[in-house]
Amino acid sequence: MNDAAPLAAYPEQLLSDVASLPALPGVYRYFDAQGNVLYVGKAINLKKRVSSYFQKNHGGTRIGHMVSKIVRLETTVVRSEAEALLLENNLIKTLNPRYNILFRDDKSYPYLKITALGKSGSEQFPRVAYYRGAVEKKHHYFGPYPSAWAVKEAILLMQKVFRLRTCEDPVFNNRTRPCLLYQIKRCSGPCVGHISAEAYARDLADAERFLNGDAREVMAELEARMMAHADQLEFEQAAELRNQVAALSSVLHQQSVDNVSDRDVDILAVKVQGGRACVNLAMVRGGRHLGDRPYFPVHVEDAAELDDLEASDAVAALRSVEMQVLDAFIAQHYLNVPAPPSLVVSVPVDKGLLKALTEQTGVKVSAVHNPREQRRVWLEMAQTNAALQLARLLAEEGSQQARTRALVEALDLPIDNLEELRIECFDISHTAGESTQASCVVFHHHKMQNAEYRRFKINDITPGDDYAAMRQVLLRRYSKLAETLQEAKRSGELPAGTGRLPDLVLVDGGKGQVSMACEVFEQLGLDLSLIVGVEKGEGRRIGLEELVFADGRDKVYLGKDSAALMLVAQIRDEAHRFAITGMRAARAKVRMDGGKLEEIPGIGPKRRARLLQRFGGVRGVALASEADIAQVEGISHELAAEIYRALH
């Protein structure tokens, strides 16, 4: 093969940079002409690894397609392969390169939080709560949990067995009688003195020990205390402890904990099929199986071919796609999530990766590939769930791709690659003109792209004027992009990082909204054929919608069973959902925000403080009647009526 031929196609500066690379470990990044990151990789020898991309013709393969786009590279030299691996995956997480295996997860994991123990008031009785976010050292956190549901189940357990409080401090400090949770034996009633601080602290300590995996010891102590009370003929106290022991025993039976030596374990099963992959992560914390969570990486096929190209020896080249996917998941996932000391995996894990994790966490991380006993049961469960989740994804994607194809054909859109079809949909929402919000949702790569959704707060219009709201949101969305595109036409050069117009702009409405969108696009010099209105059918019945075009084409009725209409309805409904949730949140903020109390005539800081103290928060004020509000010091019946009207 002639190696010189492909070299002529690359910029001279790029080839010069490749030739001057050092033979040291590091991380390299490839960029295209628009400045987008194509690929991030690591190397023990930067010069040897990077040169391998440009020393042969890759033809029409995915690798060749990627390499043909490279116009610039950047490198960072590090001290070891472990450092290179960690830096590589930090960059993958932050840059989202097109040709790497990417695990996108914008949500942090939830924790069960127990507030810090103090010496006075509510601090003497710490509360148990659901928590997601940055942790504070003074509080105790247990987890992470795979889902919000798992945390809430754990909180319910804390209520059933140990009767810890879950109410917030303002409510706790203003109780004069026990709440319903006390009546149904889900709380010990510390707010009204039904349990001493010492007894509550003992229950709290038992709860923390249980969450840390000492369930058997906690149950043995409860049984001993129960027998002691029975011996002293204190049957009521013995009965309370008996109920705790029964609840705890039931939990342990449900969790099927046969091997409590495994306190904290992550079980990772990977399944690859049909060009897609699923990694199912199951969590064991404190010896209890907390549930699982599936992850679906993108660019699996591209990255697999690139990894084969980069293989430094025959053994590395034989690593399966499953191994590469699992390595990528472990490297990216545990950058921000604490790694447990033990991993149970469905395929072998790279030893260098485990070494890097150990260096990063300071805790020796090991991986077991062929587990036995309880670990094998856990792994088989995870493998089954991975297969089920992947099958569900493939079925959904097949259906979604069929809908995309049907819409492109029905509207005769000039799209060659269905994967690249981009649709943006706009909707307006308000309540009698109050808190008007516009939403923009994005459909791309056959699915809704939540991270690209945008809300627009609409100002300076006549309340309830949906046409003016649509005009404002379209101008705000496309004016800058239109200016950039016009400038690029004149200069002949498109600036790096410039966005792209969608292939279709849907507006929720008929001729009126389409006419307004048409005016905006004419003003901005954009193509009118992009605009399509979704007009309600006769009687506003679902399935009878018609499509209205801005460029003068006749209306189109796709048919209630049309796959194309299903996709249009899906996008339109998502825009409506996103708009209405934003509007409700804005309206609730106006009505429920404590700062807004001061905006009510006659309410200053002192009266606001009295109201909040009396009712335990703004929500409590909103739930109170006029008569209840009038009982607060300094609040007249007239002012109470004004407050009630403002909050309702």
Q: What is the mean pLDDT of each run of 10 residues along the chain (648 residues)?
A: 50 85 91 88 88 74 78 89 83 85 74 85 88 83 84 84 87 87 89 89 86 74 77 75 68 48 84 88 83 85 58 49 88 83 91 86 87 88 91 83 88 84 90 76 91 87 86 92 83 70 89 90 88 78 79 81 86 89 63 58 79 74 83 86 80
Task: Note whether residue 401 is domain-resident.
Answer: no
Same domain, 225 and 123: yes
Contact 440, 428 (CB under 8 A): no
Residue 27: CATH number of its domain: 3.40.1440.10
Tens of pLDDT, residue by residue over 289-301, are 888 889 988 877 6
Provide the 10 A C-beta neighbour count for residue 485. 18
- Collapsing DSSP states into helix, strand and coil, what is residue 159? helix
For residue 52, being part of any structural domain is answered with yes
Residues 478, 605: one domain? no
Query: Is the bond into 294 cis (omega within 30 degrees of 0)?
Result: no
CB 252 within 8 A of CB 289: no
Exposed / middle / buried, residue 546 (Cβ in 10 Å: 0-12, 13-18, 19+): middle
Query: Is 131 within the bounds of a domain?
Result: yes
pLDDT of residue 4: 40
Tell me how far apart the alpha carbons of residues 553 and 547 are, in angstroms, rounded to a whole number.
10
Which of the 8 DSSP states describes residue 102? B
Claim to verify: residue 305 and residue 453 sit in the same structural domain: no
Q: Do residue 472 and residue 548 come from a single domain?
A: yes
Q: Chain-centre distance of CA 407, in angstroms?
A: 29
Answer yes or no: do 561 and 600 share one domain. Answer: no
pLDDT of res. 186: 87
| Structure token digits, residue 17 | 């940079």
Phi, psi for residue 469 in degrees, rounded to 5: -65, -40
- C-alpha distances (whole Å) from 551 to each of 36, 102, 310, 519 are 34, 40, 51, 11
What pLDDT score was predicted for residue 254? 47
Same domain, 451 and 520: yes
Within-domain flag for 411: no
Residue 357 lies in a domain: yes
Structural domains counted in the chain: 5
- Domain boundary among the residues 255, 284, 302 is at 255
Could you tell me if 529 and 488 lie in one domain? yes
The pLDDT of residue 61 is: 65
Strands 276-285 and 265-273: antiparallel
Any idea what the CATH number is for the domain that residue 604 is in?
Answer: 1.10.150.20
To 5 degrees, how large is the angle CA 178–CA 179–CA 181? 115
Indicate if 365 and 349 belong to the same structural domain.
yes
Do the domain assignments include residue 143?
yes
pLDDT given for residue 566 in this prediction: 87
The tens digit of pLDDT for each residue in 554-610 reads 888 887 778 888 899 899 999 988 888 876 666 555 444 444 666 677 787 788 878
Number of helical (H) and strand (E) elements in the chain, helices listed first: 24, 18
Range(s) of the domain holding residue 435: 418-589
Greatest CA separation for the chain: 96
The gap between the terminal CA atoms of the chain, to the nearest Å, is 78
pLDDT attached to residue 565: 87
- 342 CB contacts (<8 Å, ≥6 apart)? 262, 264, 265, 266, 365, 366, 367, 368
For 93-105, write each residue's pLDDT tens digit: 888 888 888 886 6
Where among 569, 589, 609 does a domain terminate? 589
**Domain for residue 404, yes or no?**
no
Nearest to 199, CA basis, from 121, 138, 124:
124
Q: Which of 310, 242, 252 is nearest to 41 (CA)?
A: 310
Query: Checking DSSP bridges between strand 265-273 and strand 342-345, what pairing results, if any?
Result: parallel
Q: Are residues 601 and 583 in the same domain?
A: no
Identity of the residue numbered 352: G
Picking from 73, 101, 127, the residue at the C-terminal end of a domain is 73
Q: Is residue 79 part of a domain?
A: no
Beta strand pairing call for 422-431 and 504-508: parallel
Same domain, 428 and 573: yes
Instruction: Please enumerate in sequence order all residues whose Cβ is within 8 A of that of 293, keeping only pairs 6 or more positions apart, or say none.
Output: 146, 147, 280, 281, 283
Question: Quick one: 583 and 616 in the same domain?
Answer: no
**439 and 565 fall within a common domain:** yes
